[in-house]
Amino acid sequence: MKQDIFQAISDPTRRAILTLIAIQALTPNVMAEKFDMTRQAVSKHIKVLHECGLIKPEQSGREIYYHFNAQKMQELDHWLAQFRQNWETQFNQLDHLLSTIKTEK
């Protein structure tokens, strides 16, 4: 079952996992050492991240290394860009209004 990317990144542990593997690909065992939880709990988080496409596994011998999928995060960034433009316009209008009020005083 395909996971929703927003549900995946809503969890602080999954965001922390993404931060870790954005720097360097890691195995589930190494990831589990970074958290105060069991290997099985970390594996459940990995499964969610993998199902929504934010991480990609790569077999290397007997180990599986998980890599950050920057392309999937770019898709999210492109979707957010439409809102970012609206926010920036509104903030610019607010700045202009506040500057006008300040100069009138």
Residues 6+ apart with CB under 8 A from 90: none
In this structure, whether the domain defined by 1-68 belongs to CATH 3.20.20.80 is answered with: no
pLDDT digits (tens, 9 = 90+) for 50-96: 999 999 999 999 999 999 999 998 888 888 888 988 889 899 999 99
pLDDT digits (tens, 9 = 90+) for 13-33: 999 999 999 999 999 999 999
Residues 6+ apart with CB under 8 A from 73: 54
**Domain ranges across the chain:** 1-68, 70-105
pTM greater than 0.85: no
